[in-house]
Amino acid sequence: MRILELAVGAGIVAATWLSLVASLVMPRGLRSSYTRLVHGAVRWPFQFAADRCHTYDAKDRALAWAAPLGILVTLISWLAFFLAGFGLLLAGASGLSLNGAFREAGSSLFTLGFASSARDRLTFLDFAAAATGPVAIALQIGYLPALYSAYSRREAEVTLLQARAGVPAWGPEILSRHVQVVGLRENLPDLYRGWERWAAEISESHTNYPVLIHFRSPQPNRNWLIALLAVMDAAALELALNPSNRDAGAIRIGLRGGFTCLRDIAHMERIPYDPDPDPDSDIQLSFEEFSQGIDMLRYGGYPTERSPEEAWPHFRGWRVNYEATAYALAYRIDAVPAPWSGPRRTPGQLVRVRTPRDRQPTKGVPAETSTTPVHKTPDQSPRESRS
């Protein structure tokens, strides 16, 4: 029995250290299976409740608790596993009862010092537990500021995009707003360059701290994934509608930076994707939905070199790079239903798409856009273009 206690205790301590280091220390996008399990278990009851909410705002309020509580439960459980592991080690090394061993382990782990043994064989374990507790707590304390700093940087750019793209963000809305203000359209290349850098930062932070993927924006109509999708759609529209654009190079690089970011996050979330799909493959976005966006652009005065029919194959060739990955992520995190952003998980209901609401209605824009129902559908396999 003592040998078993020693073996089990050593295994628990070692596995807990591996999980903690992989999650908080290693800058390689590692994610322990334990933290994935904990976050999924904590999220499940909130997702269950959110799926039965009748409005998106209620669903967003319910899901907002899941990721922060997942972090808290993970941090507390690591300490609990260290307590269990060192308690079993002390029991196996000394013959103490489990109650006495756990009492001494807790005293050492949390550096309380009210229970200690004078036996030399336990001194090393007491010292090890006393060192483990403060180190583990210090790593956790350092983890939270880094996490919320990355979250703050992400949300700052998403908030800044609101004036350019509306809420929720939409690709055609970006181009429409830029063309309606004299001289503002010339700033679009700078927007794509800025979001290329933003996408690189998101790729780094959200693979090192995967819980950020599920952190929701302060406002229910804003979402980091929908904002990135809108910027990529705007870039794809520019390339498809105006092939002679003198800033096409910056637009292409910004677009590639966006779908590279999505692929890195999809890899972390274990969402499969095709790294080299056929650019002529079909996409979920229909030509009718595409035409509605073009109609809004034309009414707003956006100049185009190609007709919608001519631009559609080129737009599809770009969007096939990121559409399925973005749709799968939006479905998984229950992002705000927005135009051109795919289905959501709402059992037994239809999800009404929200067009940007912080502008006056535009005469001549098809009204169906604001009420397009999105049905729950099976996840599609991601595809990529060689454009």
Report pLDDT digits (tens) over 184-235.
Answer: 788 889 999 999 999 999 999 998 888 999 999 999 899 999 999 999 999 9
| Average pLDDT over the chain, rounded to an integer | 83
Please say if the pLDDT value at position 378 is more than 90.
no
Q: Which residues pair with 373 in a beta bridge?
A: 352
Please say if the pLDDT value at position 350 is more than 60.
no
Q: Angle between the 287-300 and 224-241 helix axes, to the nearest 10 degrees?
A: 80
96 close to 57: Cβ distance less than 8 angstroms: no
- Specify the pLDDT at position 115: 58
The pLDDT-based confidence of 260 (bands split at 50, 70, 90) is: very high
Please say if the pLDDT value at position 41 is more than 70.
yes
- The sign one gets for the Cα dihedral 307, 309, 310, 316 is positive
DSSP-derived 3-state class of residue 182: coil
Same domain, 110 and 183: no
Pinpoint the alpha helices (H) of 161-281: 162-165, 171-180, 188-208, 224-241, 248-268
Same domain, 59 and 196: no
Please say if the pLDDT value at position 54 is more than 70.
yes
Same domain, 289 and 189: yes
Count of structural domains, the chain? 2
Does any domain span residue 379?
no
Same domain, 203 and 126: no
Same domain, 129 and 185: no
Higher-confidence residue of 323 and 385: namely 323
For residues 139-145, average pLDDT: 86
Does any domain span residue 147?
no
Percent of the chain with pLDDT over 70: 85
Same domain, 181 and 240: yes
Does any domain span residue 17?
yes
Of 62-76, 95-109, 206-220, 283-297, the range with the lowest mean pLDDT is 95-109
Please say if the pLDDT value at position 151 is more than 90.
yes
Does any domain span residue 194?
yes
Same domain, 110 and 176: no
The pLDDT-based confidence of 280 (bands split at 50, 70, 90) is: confident
The pLDDT-based confidence of 97 (bands split at 50, 70, 90) is: confident
- Specify the pLDDT at position 368: 42
Same domain, 70 and 186: no
- Specify the pLDDT at position 385: 43
Same domain, 85 and 185: no
Of 27-31, 82-86, 97-101, 196-200, the range with the lowest mean pLDDT is 27-31
- Specify the pLDDT at position 358: 56
Same domain, 199 and 121: no
- The model's pTM: 0.83
- Specify the pLDDT at position 360: 46
Higher-confidence residue of 64 and 102: namely 64
Same domain, 61 and 194: no
**Residue 285 domain boundaries:** 164-374
C-alpha 294/C-alpha 286 separation (Å) is 13
13 close to 41: Cβ distance less than 8 angstroms: no
Please say if the pLDDT value at position 362 is more than 90.
no
- Specify the pLDDT at position 340: 93
Burial string for 114-123 (b: 16+ CB within 10 Å, else e) reads eeebeeeebe
Percent of the chain with pLDDT over 90: 45
Of 19-23, 180-184, 290-294, the range with the lowest mean pLDDT is 180-184
Does any domain span residue 155?
no
For residues 148-158, average pLDDT: 93
Does any domain span residue 303?
yes
Tokens of 330: 């939006």
Does any domain span residue 294?
yes
Does any domain span residue 154?
no
Same domain, 240 and 335: yes
For residues 353-370, average pLDDT: 51
